[in-house]
Structure 1
């Protein structure tokens, strides 16, 4: 992430990809979302999913991890160039979360973040709010996950 003033609307960042395995899907479900179609292929086969599927929350968590890793890589590149690294604040939240297609064992999703808007914080002049459209697509390019994210980013002009 760059300083607020340097971030351009429309910038797309490829966050990376992730392959979902049966073991990881089941482990995540046991810990966080123990619904039958996330825990057992036979139970999933008896549902409209027709088999084991990952929790949608698992895809969101993977998106968050890849986003954090992408920011860390960018900040490291800025340090190597001798540039100042902006502080990042917390996310005040997300909205419009959509799980559009089930994620199955063996699926590899590509995650992308696109800056859609930004505005200075009304209450904290040292911060700006950056809004992004976070997506995950399958190898056929079909949209699997989509949501709007928001994060506080340090301003230079504060």
Structure 2
């Protein structure tokens, strides 16, 4: 992540890809989302999903992890170049979460983040708010997941 002033609207970052295995889908579901279609292929087959599917929340968690790793890589690149990496603050939240396609065992989602807007914080002059559209596209090029995210990013001008 760059400093607030250096972030360009429209900039897209590839966060990475993740393949959802059956074992990981089951483990996540047992721990966090124990619905039948996340826990049992036969039960899932009796639903509109037609089989075992990953929890949508698992897509959110994977996206968050890949986003944090991408920011860490960019920060390390800046430090190696002798530059100071900005502080990244918390997210005040996300909205417009959509699970557009079921994610099945063996599916690979590629996650991207596109900057859609930014504004200086009205109450914290050392921070700006950066808004992104986060997406997960499956191996067939179909959009499976999206949300609008917001995060505080350090400002140089403060």
Instruction: Please give the TM-score of this superposition, normalised by the length of structure 1.
Output: 0.99
Distance 1:50 1:140 in 2: 19
CA RMSD of the aligned region, Å? 0.4
Asked if 1:81 corresponds to 2:78, the answer is no
Deviations 1:88-139 (A, max 9, x none): 1000000000000000000000000000000000000000000000000011
Give the C-alpha shift of residue 140 in structure 1.
1.6
Aligned residue-pair number: 158
Match of 2:102, SS state, is coil
Distance 1:141 1:24 in 2: 23
Give the C-alpha shift of residue 36 in structure 1.
0.2
Instruction: Please give the TM-score of this superposition, normalised by the length of structure 2.
Output: 0.99
**Partner of residue 154, structure 2:** 154
Give the C-alpha shift of residue 141 in structure 1.
1.1
Q: Which runs of 5+ in 2 are unaligned?
A: none
Give the C-alpha shift of residue 75 in structure 1.
0.2
- The ranges of structure 1 where at least 4 consecutive aligned residues each deviate by more than 4 angstroms after the TM superposition are none
**Partner of residue 13, structure 1:** 13
Match of 1:119, SS state, is strand
Distance 1:114 1:24 in 2: 28
Q: Which runs of 5+ in 1 are unaligned?
A: none
